[in-house]
Amino acid sequence: MRSDRAPITLAIHWPRFGPYHLARVRSAHAVLENMGIQVVGLEIASQDRLYLWREEACNDLLRYVVFPERTYEAVSFAEMTRGVFLALSRIRPKAIAINGYSSRDSWAILAWSKVYHCPTILMTESKVDDAPRVGWKERAKGKIVCQFDAALCGGSLHRDYLQQLGMNRDRIFEGYDTVDNDFFWKGAEQARQDPAAYSSFPGLQSPGPFFLASARFIKRKNLDGLLRAYVLFRDRLARNGKGLTLWRLVILGDGAERSALEHLVDSNGIQGVVFPGFRQIDELPIYYGLSSVFIHPAHQEQWGLVVNEAMAAGLPVLVSKCCGCAPDLISEGENGFTFAPGNADSLANLMARISSDQVDLHAMGLRSRDRVKEWGPKRFAEGLYGAFQAALQGSKSSGK
């Protein structure tokens, strides 16, 4: 029930708000408002050099942008620290949820919290196998992590790593990595009901089934490995798959590796591959809705929100075992399969299997949708509330 008392303020920080962040903040606002908690979004800058998201309006939310019309990377550490201190001194939150523990803005926010004795919640999706771990660095990292009063993490692998770094298990909550499931399902269903309406979209001009991938075009996403697996898939079906359809491969996204990937396709004469470029969030459900299977082949991925999107849209998924979401979202053989990202032969086998009549794609897609319901924005809000309570309690018990 709604509290009659004046609300207390919880600030939620990200360097820049993309559509995923806004969905989470909206859910947190909807859930926590009835508990007397006012949610305020703290965004450092309205632009950045990493993501191609357009700026999203959110007049329905309290949102404080420290450096409007600025690019995140162009703000110096000294300037960022001054701006963060000024912003938080105006907001005066009861607690702060901080994105990460290794960036300039997270350090500045953590410093403000120590000066003003404000409880903090670490939001993280780091896991132990993200990179080679060195003992002294891990000990130093643990000292930083233990400066936080609670944590909201992605899932089971991320909880385990936080415990390894020294945070008590009862102060760790899951549900950080969520998307607006209803948005992707409704958009995908609309596209399925009238595919012809979208035939002018890049990559959707040809009818028939296709594999879909969506990622930034950088090395660790392993899109070149996906292309090698696709070549093997086509070769096998050409030799052994009489009467079977050679599915196309549509890869959404852009980035530094685009020219190399296009050259790989052209120089090897790989047929059936389309690069429609980066698509804004309102177009993504269309591609999910008209595709047959989603593939995420990353060599290293802390979580993999595109897997959430595809599952919410009702798709079977093939997911790299190096994706942090795999243990929590993939039920082997039920809603998809996992594979070692360095093994193109294994992925090609799965592509052949899932595109054959051995698999009920419809049933598998429904299972995906059912599984990801547990990982919607409400789970973020509930996990955040649990972390908020733990942070306040931890702050009291430590004498802050």
pLDDT digits (tens, 9 = 90+) for 250-267: 999 999 999 999 999 999
pLDDT digits (tens, 9 = 90+) for 63-104: 999 999 899 999 999 999 999 999 999 999 999 999 999 999
Taking residue 287's Cβ as centre, other Cβ atoms within 10 Å add up to 27
**Percentage of the chain lying above the pLDDT 90 cut:** 87
Token duo for residue 263:
């050259």
Inside any domain, residue 202: yes
pLDDT digits (tens, 9 = 90+) for 318-347: 999 999 999 999 999 999 999 999 999 999
Inside any domain, residue 87: yes
Are 200 and 281 in a shared domain? yes
Helix, strand or coil, per DSSP, at residue 215: coil
Are 294 and 389 in a shared domain? no
Strand 120-124 versus strand 37-47 pairing type: unpaired
Q: Where are the alpha helices (DSSP H) in the chain?
A: 19-33, 77-91, 104-115, 135-145, 156-164, 181-193, 223-240, 258-267, 284-290, 305-312, 326-329, 344-354, 361-372, 377-397
Are 145 and 97 in a shared domain? yes
Are 203 and 322 in a shared domain? yes
Q: What is the pLDDT of residue 281?
A: 93
Structural domain count, the chain: 2
Can you give the CATH number for the domain in which 60 is found?
Answer: 3.40.50.2000
pLDDT at 209 over 70: yes
Q: H-helix or E-strand containing 14?
A: strand 8-14
For residues 171-197, average pLDDT: 97
Inside any domain, residue 281: yes
Q: Could you tell me the residue range of the domain that residue 46 belongs to?
A: 8-178+376-397
For residues 261-288, average pLDDT: 96
Are 49 and 136 in a shared domain? yes
Are 218 and 278 in a shared domain? yes
Are 118 and 135 in a shared domain? yes
pLDDT at 1 over 60: no
Are 189 and 283 in a shared domain? yes
Are 384 and 368 in a shared domain? no
Inside any domain, residue 35: yes
Inside any domain, residue 241: yes
Inside any domain, residue 2: no
Q: Where are the alpha helices (DSSP H) in 92-133?
A: 104-115
Are 109 and 171 in a shared domain? yes
**Which of 387, 376, 386, 325 is closest to 23 using CA atoms?**
376
CA distance between the termini of the chain: 29
Inside any domain, residue 3: no
Are 237 and 170 in a shared domain? no
pLDDT digits (tens, 9 = 90+) for 119-146: 999 999 999 999 999 999 999 999 999 9
Inside any domain, residue 322: yes
Are 87 and 221 in a shared domain? no
